[in-house]
Amino acid sequence: MKIAPALIFILAVAPSAFAQDDDAVYTVGETVVTATKQEVGVEDVPQPVTVISGEEITNRQAYNAGEMLDFVPGVRIIRSGTVGASNGVSIRSLNGGPSSNKTLVLVDGRPVNEAWDGGVNWHSIPSELIDRIEVVRGPGSALYGSNATAGVINVFTKKPRPGFHGWFSVGHEFNMGDDIDDSSADGYGRPEIGATRIGLNGSYADERTSHFVSLGYRDAEQSFPTPNENTWDNYDVLYKVNRDLTDNLSSRLTVDVHNNTWDNKADRSPTENSTDNVAVDLQTRWQTDTGVLNSRVYVNRSETESTVSATDLKTGETATRTGVIADYSLPLPGKSMLIAGFDAYYDNADIDYEKTVVSMNYRGVETVNIISGSTGAVDSFLADTFDGVYGSNSQSYDQNNVALFAQYDKSITDRLNFVAGGRFDIHSEFGSVFNPKAGLTYDVWTHDEFATTLKVNYGTAFRAPPMVGLFSQSTGGYGDEDLEPEKTKNTDIGVFQRLGEWGHVELTFFHMDVTNLLINDKLGSTGEGYYVFVPTDAGVDTISFNQRKNLGSYSPRGLELGFKLSPHRLVSLSGAYTYLDPRDFTFQTSKHRYNIGLGAYYPLGENRIEADILYNYTGDGYFFDYEVRPYDAFGLTDARLTFDYGGKYRISLNVRNLADSNYRLWHYQWQPGRTVSVNFETRI
């Protein structure tokens, strides 16, 4: 890990930065819309908000939006594997595992959390589509309802430019790290990575109509020392058309199609999985004499099939959400704004199990004997045990939600701004709930383009258990129809320091109280998990499983620091630090995490050389709750070198895990070592 400071020093002495115009400096006037549903400066939002630019995503060579979130204060990515694996998002220690079902994710304002499990397929949001990402930390239920317990992430796709424009990119990532074999890994050895990505974007715009289309393909191969391998293929197509119907009325239609296929031969239980996502979104915007009416109708459909390689048994899920959202923004006298809206959705899921445990009855805490397949040794321990019965099951489930929301924004003085709002939801399974919010910003000190702003915010949120939590009969997480909604109360106190053209720094303290915490429990009452005994013709199968449950209450708190600076027009500096005290809940948490990145560019006439380096540190922590299975701290260094030819052609060399550090993000699987990728881009 000592390599990071040395390389940062070298780059600082010999500047070479993110792709910018020669006379550009870091953009200090960032505006955001997600936290308040209106366009305001980041310092004028009571909640902490981080903006990730498309330029940052391009420079990181991220495969999808989820990979960029690990560098945001208070946010951590929970990976279940390597390239192509599921990525979960944890904000302030609230996470839903790989499904990210405690954070609301939007694409151009459209909710994309899936109807069955409430999760997000991050591969359906590839980096080639993205213009920018807004990350709002803290409860968002006062405007957005369920799913927004931990925060809201809004991904904005690229916009067409006037005339014809095109963009093409291709890249390949390959392994250059040392091997770790299975015998010395205490689980899976370190995989070797080979991954390819191809992207093609095109756009056309005239005075009234614009079109944007994006095509992408990605694949990856993970070769393990076993010597089995996992493979992943992904393709996507996005098309959107904008039309100004009149001077006051505009519309946008978006069609989004994605496919993912995994062949996981190296997993403990080899499976083949495929997922198809299709979304259609129709939006309108009407500028009236008094305000603006925004409306949308959308449909998200996901089809997933999983096949166990050894038995050819299949599990299928088809989930659909149909939603309607409308809001009206009304400017009022005295520098104030009222936003009122309506939000409704209907979820349906068809689930088909060819063979599963269709019923369970609790036996109690008993001794379980497990025979090792490799050594034949018997491991005995106490665990929660059940009697079960095999069977097939095909069911259809549905639920719906209707909500009204409102927000009032008032500039009390030139320095003091107040925001308050709330949302009333009626859920078909859990009845009604009201979630309020209130916040203010106060400019303590201003001078020219320098300003110190105090932020205070309070809000509540709820997370209705998703249908998978209520009705699942999968051993990966058995459902419980008696689950209660998770509820959250959160307070933020922060300072935002604007430093003129140099950029900004933001520091936030938060305290959260959570009740009825929803988890997918692996440990049970003894710490050894859950086991079900299922009689068969050959005897009795002993099967471990996870149980979905309400864990109870906990109160995490912490500090979040983020900064983006441009000390020189050729140099940019960014970073984040998070101190998290999870109190008595330790699942996938670390008290200390930080990252720091340095970028620079050097002009060569119409060409330029760019370079950046990023160091990301994660402190000691635990994979599971109750301080079970600790992991060691680790630090990763990534670096990039790019040559830009006339702004039309770019070739980049990216190195991930430059120091070839050994680390694990899951308790039995080592992550890849050093990898190198070569990428080529051209613009028309």
Domains of the chain: 3-372+381-683 (2.40.170.20)
- pLDDT of amino acid 263: 87
The span from the first CA to the last CA of the chain, in angstroms, equals 41
Q: Between these two residues, 459 and 667, which has the higher pLDDT value?
A: 459
Separation in Å, CA 27 to CA 53, 479, 564, 608:
10, 48, 9, 20
Q: Between these two residues, 352 and 62, which has the higher pLDDT value?
A: 352
Query: Where do runs of H (alpha helix) occur along 334-492?
Result: 467-471
Helix count (H) and strand count (E) of the chain? 5, 41
d(CA 490, CA 139): 7
| Number of neighbouring beta carbons within 10 Å of residue 394 | 10
Q: Between these two residues, 371 and 408, which has the higher pLDDT value?
A: 408
- pLDDT of amino acid 587: 65
d(CA 32, CA 154): 10
Block residue for tokens 């599921």:
86
pLDDT digits (tens, 9 = 90+) for 496-548: 999 999 999 999 999 999 999 888 888 889 988 999 999 999 889 999 999 99
- Cβ(428)–Cβ(397) below 8 Å: no
**Does residue 143 have a pLDDT over 70?**
yes
**Among the listed residues 92, 48, 59, 71, the one whose alpha carbon sits nearest the alpha carbon of residue 617:** 71
**Does residue 671 have a pLDDT over 70?**
yes
**Does residue 122 have a pLDDT over 70?**
yes
* Whether this model's pTM surpasses 0.85: yes
One-letter amino acid for residue 17 of the chain? A
- pLDDT > 90: what percent of the chain? 60
Residue 651 DSSP class: E
**Among the listed residues 500, 485, 508, the one whose alpha carbon sits nearest the alpha carbon of residue 439:** 508
d(CA 219, CA 217): 7
**Does residue 446 have a pLDDT over 50?**
yes
d(CA 498, CA 454): 11
34 confidence band (pLDDT: 50, 70, 90) = confident
Query: Where do runs of H (alpha helix) occur along 240-362?
Result: none
- Cβ(407)–Cβ(420) below 8 Å: yes
Block residue for tokens 């790989």:
98
DSSP assignment of 498-547, as one string? EEGGGEEEEEEEEEEEEES-EEEESSTTTSS-EEEEEEETTEEEEEEE-E
For the ranges 60-74, 93-107, 354-368, which has the lowest average pLDDT? 93-107
- pLDDT of amino acid 313: 82
